[in-house]
Structure 1
Amino acid sequence: VDYSFFVFLGVCLGVEVSQTPLEVFRRPGEKVQLVCSHEKTDYPLMQWYQKSPGDQALKRIGHLYYNNKEHEESFKTHFNISGDLSGEKPKKASLFIVDLKAS
């Protein structure tokens, strides 16, 4: 049975980002939601990158700035970003993988 495995963790500009769930096992074609959060109330930016197995390069999926989302063209059909990073509160946003591909 084909399953894909994802781990997205990160620190950006001194901001420690947490992800739930840490690991994801799903079949190709299924949907996945990754929820990312950080406690820096004055940092209204969240970015997502993809690293493929065997490839050292990071490919930018997109970002959320306040409540404005932007996707790289090649990721628009398989990924969606959701959230609102405005206000002086801890930040939380989601990356949805809408059509999981085998890695």
Structure 2
Amino acid sequence: IILLLKPAEPLVSSVLQNPAVVMKGQGESVNLNCNHSNTNFNMIQWYKQPPGKTDMTLLGYTRLTSNVVEDQFKSLYNVTGNGQSHSSFVILKLRQPEDSAVYFCAASDAQCCMKPSAQTKTFSVRK
């Protein structure tokens, strides 16, 4: 299995991903690392792009002290770290050919979102 990783351009971004290329066999695990130095960023996301495709799938992310793997991938991957500087992404057990892909990490300034507490509308009457 060959995993290609998209390293960030150092002049464009302060996000660095390593290793750049991983060659491992079926059943082995893989550890990918992502680091950034932007003090305004507090989240690192991990994406997968299958060969020949342009779309990417969010696999998981780390935000501050929360490490999240998307529900459908919890048995396949693990995410650790803190979004403020680093994150590690682990493929627990390589599958062929499903795990052959390009993996991306991205750092951002995540905003917390809260669902409205009630479905209410406020009406005003104009005179």
User: In structure 2, do the counterparts of structure 1 residues 8 and 96 end up closer, same or farther at CA, with 3 Å as the change threshold?
Assistant: farther
Q: What's the counterpart of residue 60 of structure 1?
A: 58
Instruction: Kindly report which structure 2 residues correspond to 1:67-82, keeping only aligned pairs within 5 A, or say none.
Output: 67-82=65-80
More strand by share: 1
Please give the root-mean-square deviation of Cα atoms over the aligned residues, in Å.
1.9
- Structure 1, unaligned stretches of length 5 or more? none
Size of the alignment, in residue pairs? Answer: 95
Q: For residues 22-76 of structure 1, what are the alpha-carbon distances to aligned partners after superposition, in whole Å with 9 as ceiling and x for unaligned?
A: 1111101101111100111221100000001122210110111001022212211
Q: TM-score, normalised by structure 2?
A: 0.66
Percentage of matched positions with identical amino acids: 26
Q: Which runs of structure 1 show a deviation greater than 3 angstroms over 4 or more consecutive aligned residues?
A: 8-11
User: In structure 2, do the counterparts of structure 1 residues 15 and 64 end up closer, same or farther at CA, with 3 Å as the change threshold?
Assistant: farther
Q: TM-score, normalised by structure 1?
A: 0.80
1:92 and 2:86 correspond = yes
- Structure 2, unaligned stretches of length 5 or more? 98-127
Aligned residue identity for 1:76: K
